[in-house]
């Protein structure tokens, strides 16, 4: 499991300004879970974590944004980059349901380009 952490954290809440990425495997899928703000300083770490996961060519890569509190335009660009980097062999599924994540995706029209799911379980099953 790969984990990128900028500061120490509690298990339930991400303190203001903290960013964390963790990677787990669930069946044949790889899940990259993001917590905190995805902005200019943190978006490259998200792309790097996803690229590391894609190197193993999993059938499914789930990017779980359910714990993201702020998704800036570099974060949206990161999601598109991850989708592009996956190629045709890996389905990229984005978990985005909260106002902080789903709203920016919808406002920019990216829901047409990204596979969005309301929960991790839905993303894992593709439903």
Q: What is the dihedral of CA 41, 20, 105, 73, to 10 degrees?
A: 0
What is the per-residue pLDDT across 32-87, written as a single tens digit (0 to 9) for each? 999 999 999 999 999 999 999 999 999 999 999 999 999 999 999 999 999 999 98
User: How much is the pLDDT for 6?
Assistant: 36
What is the CATH architecture of 20-120? 2-Layer Sandwich (3.30)
Name the pLDDT band for 11 (thresholds 50, 70, 90).
Answer: very low
């Amino acid at each position: 499991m790969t984990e990128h952490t900028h500061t120490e954290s509690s298990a339930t809440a991400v303190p203001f300004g903290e960013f964390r990425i963790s990677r787990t495997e669930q069946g044949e899928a790889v899940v990259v879970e993001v917590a905190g703000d995805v902005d200019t300083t943190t978006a490259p770490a998200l792309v790097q974590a996803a690229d590391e996961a894609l190197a193993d060519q999993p059938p499914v890569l789930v990017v779980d944004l359910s714990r993201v509190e702020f998704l800036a335009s570099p974060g949206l660009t990161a999601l598109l980059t991850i989708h592009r980097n996956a190629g045709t062999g890996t389905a990229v599924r984005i978990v985005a349901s909260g106002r902080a994540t789903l709203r920016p995706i919808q406002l920019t029209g990216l829901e047409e380009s990204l596979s969005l799911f309301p929960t991790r379980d839905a993303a894992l099953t593709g439903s």
